[in-house]
Structure 1
Amino acid sequence: MVARKNNSRKQVRQSGYETGFHTGWRDGACEAVSGLLPPPEQTPVPLRLLYIPQGFEAIDAGLIEALQARVTELHVGSAEQLAEQAAAISPDIVLVMNGLHTFPANHLEQISAVRQQGIRTAVWFVDDPYMTEKTAIAALHYDVVLTHELGTLELYRSIGCTNVHYLPLAVHTGLYRPQRTDSAFASDVCFIGQGFWNRIGILDDISEQLLAKRRKIFLSGGLWERLSAYKRL
């Protein structure tokens, strides 16, 4: 009995050692790779900019931090008081993040009012190509259209937008970085986002292989119940 207990303790210690070693190796490797990334150039341009966030903290926080380093004067407003704030601040340009979902029903009316004051407006669409039935209508109300989807540039140009640019989203490295967490959050495959049909197709193609290899899968977001093997993942 004593020998069996000793063997059990040795196995637990060995398992703990191996887990700790692999966790430490991963954390150290992630930090080392992060340290290799060169810091971005932070030369501010002379611009007074009014930024209207959408309300998604992960995106807004990173963009606000970046803009603070890139323009000489940044103001963060609200979609509800956009026209009023623009009149008070007189920015060189108003930048609207997405202009969808959380924005008031009179948002485009406010954009028109801002333009009537002689203030340039820009929108950055970051849900393309999934919301183009709405963005194609809204785009014509802005002076500048930015999109993170290269494939929609011609769409906006074809409906009469003359100042359209491709601008992909980057990552907020202050938020999305290697961090030590509880082992309960560990997974072999992690996918964060909405279960759009193209993503469903990708995961459907590999789900049986992942299940066969007993991989731990973590899905965060909505619509993942569309997966063929959803209840087994």
Structure 2
Amino acid sequence: MAIKRVKASRKKTVRARPKRLPYSVNPANQSTSFQRGYDDGYLRGRAHFIMNRAVEPSPVRPLHVLYVSSGKGFPYSPLDEAIRGTLRDMVTTLHTAEPHEPVAEMTALLKPDLVLVLDGMYFPVEQVDAIRNQGIQTAIWLTDDPYYTDITLNIAPRYDYVFTLELNCIELYESHGCSEVHYLPFAAYLPQFHPSKMPALHRRDISFIGSGYWNRVNYFNPLLPQIMSHQTVFNGIWWDRLPDFKKYKHKIELNRWMSPEETKEVYNGTKIVLNLHRSHEDDSVNNNSLKIPALSPNPRTFEISACATLQLTDARGDLARFYKPGVEIETYETAAEMMDKIEYYLANEDKRRAIALRGFERTWKEHSYHHRMESLLQTIFGS
């Protein structure tokens, strides 16, 4: 009887895999990217809670307004869009015109209650005179005070109402024959500037968006080694004036105008947005021979805060009228203070986020174009 030889089979040893532990949601154990996503999500959630609160709509005024745009194109065109878009919801009839059009002929046919002009530098004053001779009220909202007052002093007295975004210019216009001069700073156009629902396309520690005026170039250049050591991007024209431009050009988006949508995305994805106002003494770009100093915040002040982003700005004299420093916005008086606050808020996310949200809520409640247009119409037509 043949005996079959059978090979002994070795039993394969299966080692048990270690049990996978659930990932901790403790921020201390999360990766940097996960933590930032968590922080961004929390901030956006809080911001949208504020946005979605019930707000009683203002009644539509039974008014006919003819709006004359600046005619200057970008970057003024977003201001024109903001004013037109806001007025459409506030008055029963709105017509628009460009400054090169025969607006006086249009008003003779349309008979509006008000002709509102933005900037006015491209709009012939003879047209303003002809409109007023028809018994139609006129108003101008000056966009660049006090930087071009040598020019605007010849324009403003031709209007019934003058609105200026610079507090220091009120007495100046009054002394040149303007009987109705009112302080009306710009604001944030909330359909353009607001917290994004989705994660931001750009992720930065520090951003600055604006032109490289000489005061900004001279201020930032000594600080670039510290500022650029973070995830930082500057954007705007003239930054090749920086003596150290070649060293940092990979972090500077030169000569590219950013649309409101692009700007909003940058603000949403940046931890700290810097703001540094232009100088009233720069004769290379200004027409301000009287050297009238600027007290009031620029439009960027409101647009940054409208995106629920921490803003670090130089402290202008009238800023506290709009935001409480250290609570709703952060300020600096010196370059050393600016750098100290950059490092502090990059290391303290909760405090950065709290100020950003308070600034956003203040903007939402008080500093939209709806608020500004309501103030303008109330000044002219009453309650």
User: TM-score when scaled to structure 2?
Assistant: 0.49
Q: Report whether the alignment pairs 1:217 with 2:232.
A: yes
| Displacement of 1:58 | 1.8
Q: Report whether the alignment pairs 1:79 with 2:99.
A: yes
Equivalent position of 2:65 in the other structure: 49
Check conservation: 1:31, 1:178, Cα contact below 8 A. no
Equivalent position of 2:9 in the other structure: none
- Structure-2 change in CA distance of 1:190 and 1:65 (3 Å): same
Instruction: Provide the rounded CA distance (Å) in 2 between the counterparts of 1:88 and 1:231.
Output: 58
The runs of 5 or more residues in structure 1 that have no matched partner are 1-15
| Displacement of 1:197 | 4.4
Check conservation: 1:27, 1:178, Cα contact below 8 A. no
Relative to its length, the structure with more helix (as a share) is: 1
Please show how residues 130-145 of structure 1 align to structure 2 within 5 Å.
130-145=147-162
The runs of 5 or more residues in structure 2 that have no matched partner are 1-29, 249-383
Q: Report whether the alignment pairs 1:95 with 2:106.
A: no
| Displacement of 1:163 | 0.6
Instruction: Provide the rounded CA distance (Å) in 1 between the counterparts of 2:247 and 2:61.
Output: 52
Equivalent position of 1:30 in the other structure: 44
* Matched residue SS, 1:127: coil
| Displacement of 1:174 | 1.0
Q: Which moved more, 1:120-129 or 1:82-91?
A: 82-91
Instruction: Provide the rounded CA distance (Å) in 1 between the counterparts of 2:79 and 2:69.
Output: 9
Deviations 1:16-62 (A, max 9, x none): 96425513531441342243156474222222111112243321222
| Displacement of 1:93 | 1.0
| Displacement of 1:177 | 2.0
- Structure-2 change in CA distance of 1:26 and 1:73 (3 Å): same
Percent of pairs identical after alignment?
33
Equivalent position of 1:192 in the other structure: 209
Check conservation: 1:42, 1:69, Cα contact below 8 A. no
Deviations 1:98-126 (A, max 9, x none): 113xx26xx21211111121111111011
User: TM-score when scaled to structure 1?
Assistant: 0.77
- Structure-2 change in CA distance of 1:181 and 1:33 (3 Å): closer
Check conservation: 2:40, 2:199, Cα contact below 8 A. no
* Matched residue SS, 1:188: strand
- Structure-2 change in CA distance of 1:43 and 1:196 (3 Å): farther
Which segments of structure 1 move beyond 6 Å, counting only runs of 4 or more? none
- Structure-2 change in CA distance of 1:152 and 1:203 (3 Å): farther
Which one of the candidate residues 66, 70, 89 is aligned to 2:90?
70
Deviations 1:112-168 (A, max 9, x none): 111121111111011111111111111111111101111111111111111100001
Q: Which moved more, 1:109-118 or 1:165-174?
A: 109-118
Instruction: Provide the rounded CA distance (Å) in 1 between the counterparts of 2:57 and 2:106.
Output: 30
1:119 alignment partner AA: I
